[in-house]
Chain A
Amino acid sequence: MLILTALLAGIVFGVGLVISGMANPAKVLGFLDVAGSWDPSLAFVMAGAVGVGVIAFALARRRTVSLLGAGMQLPKARQIDRRLVLGSLTFGIGWGLAGFCPGPALVALGMGQTKALVFVAFMLAGMGLFAWLERRAG
């Protein structure tokens, strides 16, 4: 059941990315280009998602298990450290370079875009590199 609901959540998320315009790198870059001809649309994506998200997490916070009985696994980390800041900085530079963040890249891959395949292949390589470095560091 948890596998089916994960699939459903993935589909709804992906359809949301298609409708919102986030799956189109040119639109994302239009949002990130404040000094040029600015397209503020993506602020509305954020507003819509966070508006629903706030309610969802207010409900989730009061529970120890999900509606299907799975353990509620909310992040506990609170510290603002070098890893968080440098990692996010690195991510932001990559995002600005091509207009893709992880979700939209996977959706564009599903649209059969060869360029998205290149991005996703290197993104997976980057994630694999991280996993390898972490394992080596113990």
Chain B
Amino acid sequence: MTIDWASFTPWRSLAGGVLIGVAVALFVLLNGRIAGISGVLGGLLNGKQVDSAWRAAFIAGLVGAPLIYGLFAVVPTPQIDADTAALALAGLLVGVGTRYGSGCTSGHGVCGISRGSRRSVVATFVFMGAGFATVFVLRHVLGS
């Protein structure tokens, strides 16, 4: 294993993580809800209209965040290497998988682990393991 020191950003990443934690804290203490993004978004698509407003507001906040960030600093440009076909397949897998597994990086990874949920710890190990394995196969076996 070699560490990519040039890309390593421990303090920025820790600070960003703390902000994510603050958002999770706000959402559970004020709204009484888990800030799980796939769950909040998926709830908009299940045909029930009762709680669409706060769900849509949370999603609008996420999409609008770069705009707010841009008022104070230059928004970093993301580097997206995957081609259209890979993005489409990845999106489909993430959409179906997070709903069947009842959560994603935020719902299981951050909220679930913070709550001490054994279910979420298992889910996080599984999706992280699958992520590590997929990148290993793509980069070191298929060599793309």
A binds B: yes
CB atoms of B8 and A40 under 8 A apart: yes
CB atoms of A67 and B91 under 8 A apart: no
CB atoms of B131 and A7 under 8 A apart: no
Q: Name the residue in B23, B42, B98, B118 with the highest tally of chain A Cβ atoms < 10 Å from its Cβ.
A: B23
> What residues of chain A lie closer than 8 Å to B66, measured between beta carbons?
14, 18, 23, 107, 110-111
CB atoms of B26 and A9 under 8 A apart: yes
* Candidates B55, B75, B113, B128; contact of A50 at CB < 8 Å: B113
> What residues of chain B lie closer than 8 Å to A26, measured between beta carbons?
78-81
For the complex formed, measure the closest distance between the CB of B128 and the CB atoms of chain A, giving whole angstroms: 7
Main secondary structure, interface of B, reads: helix
CB atoms of A96 and B65 under 8 A apart: no
Q: How far is the CA of A38 from the CA of B102 in the complex (A)?
A: 29
* Candidates A6, A49, A110; contact of B58 at CB < 8 Å: A6
**With A32-B135, A107-B63 in contact, do A18 and B69 touch (Cβ < 8 Å)?**
yes
Q: Which of A22-45 contact B (CB under 8 A)?
A: 22-27, 29-30, 32-42, 44-45
> What residues of chain A lie closer than 8 Å to B134, measured between beta carbons?
32, 92-93, 95-97
Which single residue of chain A is at the shortest CB-CB distance from B101? A87
Q: How far is the CA of A51 from the CA of B25 in the complex (A)?
A: 11
> What residues of chain A lie closer than 8 Å to B46, measured between beta carbons?
131, 134-135
CB atoms of B45 and A128 under 8 A apart: yes
A137 interfacial contact with B, CB 8 Å: no
Q: How far is the CA of A84 from the CA of B6 in the complex (A)?
A: 36
Q: Which of A80-113 contact B (CB under 8 A)?
A: 80, 83-103, 105-111, 113
Scan A64-87; emit 1 where CB is below 8 A from any B CB, else 0.
011110111111011110011111
> What residues of chain B lie closer than 8 Å to A56, measured between beta carbons?
21, 24-25, 28-29, 114
5 more contacts with CB within 8 A, not counting A99-B80, A102-B105, are: A6-B58, A15-B68, A49-B114, A75-B117, A127-B99
B interface residue numbers (CB < 8 A to A): 1-4, 7-35, 37-38, 41-42, 45-47, 53-55, 57-69, 75-82, 84, 86-106, 108-119, 122-124, 126-136, 138-140
